[in-house]
Amino acid sequence: MRYLFEEYAFDTDRRELHRGTEAVSIAPQVFDLLDYLIRNRERVVSKDELIKAIWNGRSVSDAALTTRLNAARGAIGDSGEEQRFIKTLPRKGFRFVGQVREARDVAGPDPGDAPESAPAVPDKPSIAVLPFANMSGDPEQEYFADGMVEEITTALSRFRWLFVIARNSSFTFKDKAVDIKEVGRRLGVRYVLEGAVRKASGKVRITCQLIEAATGAHIWADRFERDMTDIFALQDEVTLAVVSAIQPKLFQAEIALATRRRPEDLTAYNLYLQAVQQADRSSRESLVEALRLVQRALELDPGFAAAAALAGACHMENVLRSYATDPQFERKEAVRLMRLALSLDDHDPNTLATAALITALLVGDFETEIELADRAVALNSNSSHTWNCRSWVYKIAGQPEEAIRSFERAMRMSPVDPQQFTALTGMGYAFIELRRFDEAIVAGKKALRQNPSYPGPYRCLASAFAHLGRDAEAREAAAGMLEVDPAFTISAWIARSRLPINAKLMIEGFRKAGLPE
């Protein structure tokens, strides 16, 4: 039996307690105490009954009982003062008052309606969003919960790399206790998202868990609490928060799965996932490995648009980071692969966004790159990647205000993105062109803390400090950048890409900071 409450999963068969993806350490006796209180949550459990059940009737001091209760509360984020889950009723006993859902029985359509064989799990990430449980008993909340599941399903379906089960199939599990492994088998998916909605005191609390169906392992869990005002605006807000949280978690889980597979089992998609991981590291060696992997993926599947776009992006990075031994060749390869990707699939938001970025940095066609970037976000407004690429496009096109708005949207979509330092750097560049030098310094420092080996934040800080007349700090930032990128010169940076277009103040700051011409 699994009991689910807020972001916790309490598994009595495995004797495990999880908060999201993290296992919570819990002593056996404390586990038994929690188990007993949860199973008897419909009533007050007296002190004597609890002692008899947990200590087999042995004599136990009040202090010992209090210690175990405090340990149980601590394991689930509760306390004696708050008593959010375990309530003490003076002179009567204790009661588990948290809203609990049980996951025990296999659910779904009637057995006679079940298919003879389960559908095969696709060779790409696949997910079903189950109906959210209404924990409030309020019929209005039922409509809200169902509507939110539909919104989340629709938002996830815009990610073309993700296979999403349609609402009609997922809703056959409504109002039934479910076994996640069986849900995954029946629907042919690798992941299941389940959740619950509870309304109280003018607020609505939504809890969600993303689970790997085959193992029952929790990949992610979170709780969202909002004021219950405009119900449709609230649906949009929570949908955005949920999708922004689970999309990168899904991708990370898929990459981890791909890296565990044997070489002979690797498909084009698995190779692509491993290439993404290498490309994100952005070192000279990792980009070489990323290109090797993605080229193998294209050999297996010549029509794989996302792989072609990634290959183009890797060649672009080699040019931008001065890794290329033959910059002209890599520049041409980046553009060739970008055009190949568009010819294979010009309706995929990620492909459009990557193509827009390559065009903006290496080609120079404001009208085309802005059109590609705007189409990307129109097709999937829930993707941080599409917004991030759009940001750089608008920065290069000389529209820093719009670039900053897009960078902010991208970071809101993926607040713990390990690549966020690139967006912060781009914001810093845009702030400089708007003469908002103090804000550029804030963004540059944040980016530097996230990745001290990335030269972009040093460039941002050197220029911004120089414009403010903070010469010692400007020279320190310039020295840091030359340590990371010893071959840097202003003329080489200008020649590498179109990033310096519309960056006159940036370059002026470089000269003031004493960077080599």
Map out the domains of the chain with their CATH numbers: 2-99 (1.10.10.10), 105-257 (3.40.50.10610), 264-512 (1.25.40.10)
- Identity of the amino acid at 261: R
Contacts of 324 (CB under 8 A, 6+ apart): 315, 318, 330, 331
Predicted TM-score (pTM) of this structure: 0.67
CA distances, 366 to each of 283, 317, 353, 405 (Å): 29, 20, 14, 18
- For residue 241, the SS3 value is helix
333-341: long-range contacts at Cβ-Cβ below 8 A with a sequence spacing of 24 or more? 334/358, 334/362, 335/359, 335/362, 335/363, 336/312, 337/308, 337/309, 337/311, 337/312, 338/308, 338/309, 338/312, 340/308, 340/312, 341/305, 341/306, 341/308, 341/309, 341/312
- pLDDT of 208-242, one tens digit each? 888 888 888 888 888 888 777 766 677 777 777 77
Instruction: Identify the pLDDT of residue 398.
Output: 93
Half-sphere exposure of 136 (CA within 13 A, CB side): 20
Maximum alpha-carbon separation in the chain? 84
Instruction: Identify the pLDDT of residue 332.
Output: 95
Instruction: Identify the pLDDT of residue 111.
Output: 37
Instruction: Identify the pLDDT of residue 109.
Output: 41
> If you average pLDDT over residues 91-100, what whole number do you get?
88
Instruction: Identify the pLDDT of residue 381.
Output: 82
pLDDT band at 116 (very low <50, low <70, confident <90, very high): very low
Q: How far apart are CA 45 and CA 49, in angstroms?
A: 6
Q: Could you tell me the two tokens for 244?
A: 């922004």
Instruction: Identify the pLDDT of residue 329.
Output: 94
Mean pLDDT across the chain, nearest whole number? 85
In contact, 24 and 31? CB cutoff 8 Å: no
CA distances, 483 to each of 184, 459, 477, 479 (Å): 51, 12, 10, 6
**Among 134-138, 196-200, 352-356, whose mean pLDDT is lowest?**
134-138
- pLDDT of 38-90, one tens digit each? 989 889 999 888 888 888 767 778 888 888 898 899 899 888 888 889 999 98
In contact, 145 and 171? CB cutoff 8 Å: no
